[in-house]
């Protein structure tokens, strides 16, 4: 199987031969930071364009088709517009929190990126509690949203932020239970070990019906956590004008907008890693010939292919289902998803202890 690890090791050895150990570390950290920022910028452009095209296909229309071939430069033009817009700040806002909030949301997304394996041998930080780290850090983003709503000195912003806080805290429980179902099967919090445990088949297939139930609950919960329709109560335009970022403009608004799409990519990357084997090719038990053919496809192609499939699924939700009311949204979590998640986790524990999975 093609691995990027040889390339990264060769580059590290070359740097070590010409620079001191401290400088090597600083140079590598700087390159990783630049690569992460570049990835965020590219993902923002690609995902917004993808969103518009998916919406156009579902609504039987063309979508962006003016700026560049098939409208591929439309998102670049929109980004340029946001960069050139005046960064207007209303009167009577809490200036420090108002300015800080977009960076809290964006930095949280960057931190979560660290333990995700993008390909075989290509990972920013291989930590043995990767899943726990992601779960802990992802909880910080709600603080940035609450800060934005409070600091804006606007009733619509505050109401949107309070809705978002209640929504994210509620649906984190179901998402966490779904993730725990896979942790029970693998017995590890290390993302690389979770991927390695799927060498002879992905957990979505090996884990029987409880794994499928966990996946469905996970997709619903993370759609709500990222404030995506039909769970976009935090920024419901028909009720709250713009929700928690009503008073934001220019680059500060762009950071919130970008963070939403980056969070979609991150939750789908985690879902692909836990349920679909991450960068691991599609293997079937001891079918050596078939598995060998699958290994010819590069690992990063598998990872991004699975991730973008889940992103398409979430976008499909947005343009298919109507928006829920806030009471319906919370009822869905507390009366249905959470009890089902708890029972499903118990069932998965029995399957893991008895060894009934494939």
pLDDT at 240 over 80: no
pLDDT at 8 over 80: no
Other Cβ atoms within 10 Å of 17 Cβ, number: 8
End-to-end CA gap in the chain: 23
**Domain locations along the chain:** 87-354
**What does pLDDT average to over the chain?**
87
Residue-wise pLDDT tens digits, 284-311: 777 777 878 888 888 888 999 999 999 9
Question: Could you give the CA distance from residue 54 to residue 57 in angstroms, rounded to a whole number?
Answer: 5
Q: Which two tokens mark 18?
A: 């010409």
Q: What would the mean pLDDT of 52-56 be, rounded to a whole number?
A: 92
Q: What would the mean pLDDT of 160-185 be, rounded to a whole number?
A: 89
C-beta of residue 314 within 8 angstroms of C-beta of residue 264: yes
pLDDT at 142 over 90: no
Residue-wise pLDDT tens digits, 251-265: 888 888 888 899 999
pLDDT at 241 over 70: no
Where does the pLDDT of residue 215 fall: very low under 50, low under 70, confident under 90, or very high at 90 and above? Answer: very high
pLDDT at 111 over 80: yes
Average the pLDDT over each of 4-8, 171-175, 333-337 and give the range with the smallest value: 4-8
Query: What is the pTM for the complete model shown?
Result: 0.90
Please give the pLDDT value at position 1.
Answer: 60
């Amino acid at each position: 199987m093609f691995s990027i690890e040889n390339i990264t090791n060769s580059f590290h050895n070359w740097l070590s031969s010409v620079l001191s150990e401290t400088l090597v570390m600083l140079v590598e950290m700087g390159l990783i930071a630049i690569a992460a920022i570049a990835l965020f910028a590219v993902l923002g452009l690609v995902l917004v364009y993808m969103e518009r095209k998916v919406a156009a296909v579902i609504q039987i229309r063309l979508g962006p088709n003016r700026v560049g071939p098939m409208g591929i430069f439309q998102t670049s033009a929109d980004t340029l517009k946001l960069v050139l817009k005046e960064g207007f700040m209303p009167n009577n806002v809490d200036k420090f929190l108002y300015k800080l909030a977009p960076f809290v949301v964006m930095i949280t997304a960057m931190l979560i990126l660290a333990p995700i394996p993008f390909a075989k041998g290509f990972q920013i930080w291989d930590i043995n509690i990767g899943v726990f780290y992601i779960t802990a850090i992802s909880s910080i983003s709600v603080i940035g949203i609450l800060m934005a709503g409070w600091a804006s000195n606007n009733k619509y912003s505050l109401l949107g932020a309070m809705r978002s806080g209640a929504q994210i805290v509620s649906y984190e429980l179901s998402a966490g239970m779904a993730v725990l179902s896979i942790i029970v099967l693998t017995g590890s919090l290390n993302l690389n070990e979770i991927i390695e445990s799927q060498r002879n088949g992905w957990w979505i297939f090996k884990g029987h019906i409880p794994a499928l139930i966990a996946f469905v609950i996970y997709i619903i919960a993370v759609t709500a956590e990222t404030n995506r329709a039909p769970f976009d109560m935090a920024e419901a335009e028909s009720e709250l004008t713009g929700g928690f970022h009503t008073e934001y403009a220019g680059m500060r608004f762009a950071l919130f907008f970008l963070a939403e799409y980056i969070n979609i990519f991150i939750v789908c990357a985690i879902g692909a890693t836990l349920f679909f084997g991450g960068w691991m090719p599609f293997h079937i038990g001891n079918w050596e010939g078939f598995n060998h053919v699958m290994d010819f496809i590069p690992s990063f192609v598998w990872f991004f292919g699975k991730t973008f499939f889940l992103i398409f699924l979430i976008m499909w939700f947005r343009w298919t289902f109507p928006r829920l009311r806030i009471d319906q949204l919370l009822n869905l979590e507390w009366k249905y998803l959470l009890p089902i998640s708890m029972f499903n986790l118990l069932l998965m524990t029995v399957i893991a202890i008895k060894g009934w999975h494939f």
